Chain A
């Protein structure tokens, strides 16, 4: 089982979730996150309009889904085609291993719980 964490442009959320459902992903969650990558921070006005300063306040969405190993390529392709623009700021996807999954309703574990 693999955990796929994708950070991408927030305006692409619906495109990503639709694409994931199309490839048979059974669940995911997402949240708004703030930070910066190659897009450096954003300039904000502080005080009462006297100064500007740069803050790491670029908004992205972080989506997490856990899938069986065989779905990995399909899921990554789905996310990339839903969000890629070719400009700096398209985001990153991280893949890591999950040691177990449990379905709360029935108590099942392992791949059957996905």
Chain B
């Protein structure tokens, strides 16, 4: 028990650190005049969602919802009542803590689509609503006893660490947001700070060990396997992306390798508890190829998903969710799970597909409705003014600059 708590608290801290890591990964990619704003989107998610989670977010995600339990949890754990200090309840403070870090990073991921033009005050409200109406219910479906966990006669879809709950969810929400928001007036060509992008990706990779290996719930063989396959997939995807870009442009850029690593990490997320090292090599390689292509294809649609959230998290998550059903190793995943490669069984793959589709549809529709309403509320709206967008959101939204070079510092 002590080993379990020690590991799970550590894993929680690792996942926490991913949100500031994401802040820098995203921040380095945007124009310099929007660096503080991009970081703030991620950082403020920590502040807002931490509170929403312990007040009602956890309850909606994990409580028994009675007759509505297929779709949503109940309110008996609002304010964490019925989650006793001594860990004797159905759910423990440890569960709340670990899961909270996932709830925090998911809306922060979405912000990559709407950087450089989204109104910050509207974002604060969006955080509360989206977390409540989209994140917690989808979590409930997959991990809280809802319909996705009941597919295939109770076996459920394989989503070890949240490929569906976090990444497909955030990815499609990002695409929906990009569609509603419209394009940036003058997007930059180059990243303003490549070292931040790499450092951010490194922090994400580091934190992801907690994200995936912590999802084993305890300090056991499953955690060890998850840790290792996470690294393998990230490495394979990073290298694949780097090599493809070297073939295409003659040079291997740091931004590409960093992005590739993140794509691999996304893809292994649902599968980390079900596949072995060979499967994770394939998953990482696949993520490198598919997400690279997805970035190009989404650009061609004219949608300005500024930081390619759907291409990396959406497509990466979808590939990982399907691959979990393809490369399942029953000795790792559990006797109920028969994969395509090992057993020639298509059923798990079918379950994965249903889970993916349900999440895509719900998250897209709900996000569009939420943003549409926020856009229409007087005093809110989604976009900053054109003058503010040109000035840069660091000054326009926060009255700050990332670095001051005019002697006024």
Contact = CB atoms under 8 A, between A and B. Distances in A.
Nearest to A51: B249
Interface string B104-128: 0000000000000000000000000
Nearest to A55: B189
B189 A49 contact: no
Contacts of B7: none
A49 B241 contact: yes
B259 interface: yes
B221 interface: no
Contact of B259 (A49, A52, A55): A49
A46 interface: yes
A45 B242 CA distance: 12
Given A45-B249, A45-B251, A45-B256, A50 B189 contact: no
Interface in B314-354: none
Question: Interface size bucket, A side?
Answer: 10 to 19
A49 B190 contact: no
B189 A48 contact: no
Given A48-B295, A48-B308, A53 B248 contact: no
B248 A49 contact: yes
Interface in A1-47: 44-47
B117 to A, nearest CB: 18
A57 B259 CA distance: 24
Question: Interface size bucket, B side?
Answer: 20 to 34
B89 interface: no
A52 B245 CA distance: 10
Contacts of A46: 189-190
Given A45-B249, A47-B295, A48-B308, A53 B189 contact: yes
A47 B242 contact: no
A50 B255 contact: no
B255 A49 contact: yes
A47 B251 CA distance: 13
Contacts of A44: 189-190
Interface in B264-310: 292, 295-296, 299, 308
Contacts of B295: 47-48, 50
Contacts of A45: 245, 249, 251, 253, 255-256
B250 A52 contact: yes
Nearest to A49: B256
A54 to B, nearest CB: 10
B244 interface: yes
Interface in B228-251: 241-242, 244-245, 248-251
A61 to B, nearest CB: 16
A48 B255 contact: yes
Contact of A50 (B190, B242, B252, B292): B292
A55 to B, nearest CB: 7
A29 to B, nearest CB: 13
A55 B189 CA distance: 9
A68 to B, nearest CB: 30
A106 to B, nearest CB: 24
A53 B248 CA distance: 12
B299 A47 contact: yes
B256 A48 contact: yes
A52 B257 CA distance: 15
28 contacts: A44-B190, A45-B249, A45-B251, A45-B256, A46-B189, A48-B241, A48-B255, A48-B256, A48-B259, A48-B292, A48-B295, A49-B241, A49-B242, A49-B248, A49-B249, A49-B255, A49-B257, A49-B259, A49-B292, A50-B245, A50-B292, A50-B295, A50-B296, A51-B248, A51-B249, A52-B250, A52-B251, A55-B189
Given A50-B245, A50-B295, 6 more contacts: A44-B190, A48-B241, A48-B259, A48-B308, A52-B250, A55-B190
Interface of A: 44-53, 55
Q: Which 4 A-B pairs have the closest CB atoms?
A: A49-B256, A49-B245, A45-B253, A52-B249
